Each structure stands twice: as structure tokens, then as C-alpha cells.
């Protein structure tokens, strides 16, 4: 395996582990996810593992000692690969997915915000600038933490076309916050096969709890990459975006109430990657899919998820971030993440932002796929890179 393939595998493993922790937080232990008691705990989820991964990698550039070892392990970087080599590979490998094709709008922006007059180590800032294209923004002169918070939120909003607002909530910046590493990601693509707006009509979506919801169901008859997943009791379809190697993956359980069982499969080590690596056969299909929007009202607590993944020390007073700053003893006080997905007849829009607040201390002719019950969704690049993942319990209007 080449080093480039190794870092992609590292990200795949991290993404699967992170999504597993999201599911665990909602549905309990892996063995209990099929229980009917878990149905009421599941809710709509959408996140960008890549955004969280890159923000964590940028933080790791300032870590040393046991903190570095723990982050190195949690981010699934091969044991033979040094942190320096990982930074040289990971940034460029993933940033190339965001080189802008004319047919889509896409951007990935990283920034280091310096809130106090601290001495940031030159090698750390150079790594962020060179490998992750993260500029440094000194905002210590803004006067107060609320002005600094609004400045950072404004940067996120500008870099996500105003899809992510208020990433950092009131009180999210304290007098002890020395710096913040923020990552913002935006995607807007048009379907290769657009849905006919005149064919969109009100239809019923069946929820896990037995209730129903009226949704605006879109319709398209076209040729799509498809796969039968008998092991998962589901079927998968990819909706390509025009002029690019990005697509949206839908995995639809065969059973109306089959999402918990599907998630119990996808969260097992290697299973999500295996689905992404499968050969999909082109087949003509009648696709019925709801317009929907996935967006949380509040930022996701990524700190809790990363701790569950094994990255704990960097959030405590024992953190060693001495490669980041030589004048203050730092630790990560908070890690926040927001992601949005909007799907309509013309295409899909997705955005995500992650902030690390660092403080002192099978083919059948013309099958019909009716997405009228809970399903898994992902935005993938280069056929198998899960830039965004999530699941839909109740579609909200796009």
C-alpha cells in the first residue's frame, strides 16, 4: 500500500469510527441498536468526517509527547508514519478534492485565529499554512471575546455561503481562549439527471415510530449506478453530480423500519468502506426521492465524540501542545461542528464547519426506488471518499 493510499485508509477508518460513536450516542450499544426501544432515540444526523479530521490534524501539528501519540492513534495514522510525513500527505491528498471544477461550487477553507498576544511557534504556523492552506488571522485587537466570536462566525458564514451561521454560540469564547482553529467546507452541485419540478408532488413518508409525514416527493427516470446489498437488507443508489466525480449515495433499507438494522451493519469496522468500494451497475430506474434539508439547530459536540474515539488527553490540563505555543500551556477546551445538506430538483448543497477552541490550560429492468422511509445518505468524492455522512429519520422541507 502506498503512503497516499495509507492516509486515505486512515481517514476511512476514522470516519467509520466517528459515525459509529454518533450512532452509539443515539441508539445505545451496538448489540442493542435493533431493539424497538432505540427507535425513539434516533434522529436526523448530518456531519462531515473530513472537516472534523482536518481540524484535528491541524491541532495535532501542535502536539507532542503522549498527547501526540494519542491523537496519532485516534486519527488512525499508520504507526510507521511520522506526524510530519502525515501532514505532508494528508493536507494535499484531501485538498485536491476541492480544486474547483467549473460545473460546481466547492471550497475548503482553514484558518488559525489568534485571540491573544501569544507566541505561536513558527514551525506550527508554517505547517498549517503550507500543508492545509490555513492563514493566520490575528484578532487580539478586537477588544472583547464577543467581538472575536462574531468575527470568527462571520468568516465561517462567508466561506459556507451563509449556510453555517453561529458555529460558535454565545459564551463559546472565553477570556482564556488563546487561539481557534476553524475549518469551513462548502459544496453545491447540480444533478447529472435533474428532477422534473412539474413531477414533484405531495406523498407520504413513513417514519420509524409508525407515524407518517407529507413530503414533496421528486421523480426522475434515468440511468443510475445501483447495487443490491442483501447482507444489509438494503439497496443503494448513487446520484452523480454533473461534470465532477462527486455523487450522493442513498442506502435504503428494504423494510420501512429497517434503518436501525442497517446502521448496526454500517457501524461495524470496514463495512461502510466496503459498501463505498463496491462495484455499482448502471441501470435504468424510476427514482422517487423527497426534497429535504438536514441541519441541526445547535453545533454538534465533537469534543465528546472525539473523546469516545480515544482522543482524550488533548482536552485536559495534561495536554501537551508545546509545539503550538511556547508562551502558554494550552489545551483544547471545545470542539464544535455544524453541517447542512439541502436536496432539491436541481441538485444538492452541503456545508460544514469545525472549530477547535484552544484555551489556557443486483440489476432488474427499470426498478422503482421509492425513498419513502428512513435512509442513510452520504456525499462522496472520487467514488469512495465519504466527505459527508448522515441518516434521515424525518425529512425537513428543503
CATH label of the domain that carries residue 281: 2.30.39.10
Q: Three-state SS for 352?
A: strand
Supply the range of the domain harboring residue 25. 3-189+294-360
213 in the same domain as 298: no
Check pLDDT > 90 for residue 253.
yes
The span from the first CA to the last CA of the chain, in angstroms, equals 42
Answer whether residue 397 is part of any domain. Answer: no
CB 67 within 8 A of CB 313: yes
Question: What is the per-residue pLDDT across 23-82, written as a single tens digit (0 to 9) for each?
Answer: 988 875 544 555 545 555 788 999 999 999 999 999 999 999 999 999 999 999 999 999
Query: Could you tell me if 211 and 66 lie in one domain?
Result: no
**pLDDT attached to residue 31:** 43
Q: pLDDT tens, 208-226?
A: 989 999 999 999 999 999 9
Q: Tell me, yes or no, whether 90 and 167 share the same domain.
A: yes
3-state secondary structure of 11: helix
Average pLDDT, the chain: 88
**Domain identity same for 232 and 316:** no
- Residues in the chain, overall count: 398
Give the separation between CA 166 and CA 279, rounded to whole angstroms: 40
> Are 132 and 162 within one domain?
yes
What confidence category does residue 166 fall into, taking pLDDT thresholds of 50, 70 and 90? confident
Tens digits of residue pLDDT in 304-360: 999 999 999 999 989 999 999 888 888 898 888 999 999 999 999 998 888 887 887
**Strand 375-381 to strand 246-253: parallel, antiparallel, or no bridges (unpaired)?**
antiparallel
Shared domain for 260 and 204, answered yes or no, is yes
Domain identity same for 96 and 123: yes
Q: Are residues 223 and 277 in the same domain?
A: yes
Cβ atoms of 111 and 355 within 8 Å: the answer is no
Number of domains in the chain: 2
Compute how many other C-beta atoms are within 10 angstroms of the C-beta atom of residue 271: 16
Looking at the fold, whether 354 and 386 belong to one and the same domain comes out as no
Q: What is the pLDDT of residue 364?
A: 42
Mean pLDDT for the stretch of residues 166-183: 88
The structure's pTM equals 0.91
- The helix or strand, by DSSP H or E, that contains position 106, with its residue range, turns out to be strand 105-114
* Residues 282 and 343 reside in one and the same domain: no
| DSSP structural state of residue 212 | E
Q: Are 47 and 391 in contact (CB under 8 A)?
A: no
Shared-domain flag, residues 141 and 228: no
Amino acid at each position: 500500500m502506498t503512503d497516499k493510499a495509507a492516509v486515505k485508509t486512515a481517514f476511512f477508518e476514522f470516519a467509520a469510527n466517528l459515525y459509529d460513536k454518533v450512532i452509539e450516542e443515539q441508539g445505545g450499544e451496538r448489540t442493542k441498536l435493533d431493539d424497538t426501544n432505540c427507535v425513539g432515540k434516533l434522529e436526523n444526523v448530518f456531519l462531515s468526517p473530513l472537516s472534523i479530521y482536518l481540524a484535528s490534524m491541524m491541532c495535532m501539528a501542535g502536539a507532542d509527547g503522549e498527547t501526540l501519540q494519542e491523537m496519532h492513534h485516534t486519527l488512525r495514522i499508520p504507526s510507521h508514519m511520522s506526524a510530519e510525513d502525515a501532514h505532508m500527505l494528508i493536507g494535499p491528498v484531501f485538498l485536491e478534492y476541492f480544486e474547483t471544477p467549473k460545473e460546481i461550487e466547492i471550497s475548503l477553507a482553514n484558518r488559525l485565529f489568534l485571540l491573544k498576544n501569544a507566541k505561536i511557534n513558527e514551525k506550527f504556523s508554517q505547517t498549517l499554512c503550507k500543508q492545509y492552506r490555513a492563514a493566520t488571522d490575528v484578532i487580539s485587537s478586537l477588544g472583547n471575546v464577543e467581538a472575536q466570536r462574531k468575527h470568527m462566525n462571520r468568516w465561517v458564514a462567508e466561506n459556507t455561503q451563509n449556510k453555517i451561521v453561529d458555529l460558535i454560540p454565545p459564551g463559546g469564547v472565553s477570556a482564556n481562549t488563546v487561539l481557534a482553529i476553524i475549518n469551513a467546507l462548502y459544496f453545491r452541485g447540480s444533478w447529472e439527471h435533474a428532477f422534473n419540478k412539474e413531477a414533484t408532488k405531495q406523498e407520504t413518508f413513513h417514519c420509524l415510530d409508525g407515524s407518517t409525514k407529507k413530503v414533496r416527493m421528486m421523480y426522475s427516470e434515468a440511468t443510475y449506478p445501483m447495487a443490491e446489498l442483501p447482507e444489509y437488507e438494503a439497496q443503494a443508489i448513487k446520484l452523480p453530480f454533473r461534470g465532477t466525480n462527486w455523487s450522493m449515495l442513498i442506502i435504503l433499507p428494504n423494510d420501512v423500519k429497517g434503518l436501525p438494522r442497517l446502521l448496526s451493519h454500517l457501524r461495524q469496522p470496514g463495512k461502510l468502506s466496503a459498501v463505498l468500494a463496491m462495484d455499482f451497475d448502471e441501470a435504468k430506474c424510476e427514482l422517487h426521492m423527497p426534497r429535504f434539508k438536514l441541519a441541526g439547530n445547535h453545533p454538534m459536540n465533537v469534543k465528546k465524540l472525539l473523546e469516545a474515539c480515544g482522543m482524550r488527553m488533548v482536552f485536559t490540563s495534561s495536554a501537551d501542545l508545546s509545539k503550538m505555543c511556547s508562551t502558554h500551556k494550552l489545551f483544547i477546551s471545545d470542539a464544535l461542528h455544524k453541517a447542512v445538506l439541502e436536496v432539491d430538483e436541481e441538485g444538492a448543497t452541503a456545508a460544514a464547519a469545525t472549530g477547535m477552541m484552544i484555551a489556557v490550560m443486483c440489476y432488474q429492468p427499470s426498478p422503482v426506488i421509492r425513498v419513502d422511509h428512513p435512509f442513510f445518505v452520504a456525499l462522496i468524492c472520487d467514488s469512495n471518499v465519504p466527505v459527508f455522512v448522515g441518516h434521515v429519520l424525518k425529512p425537513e422541507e428543503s
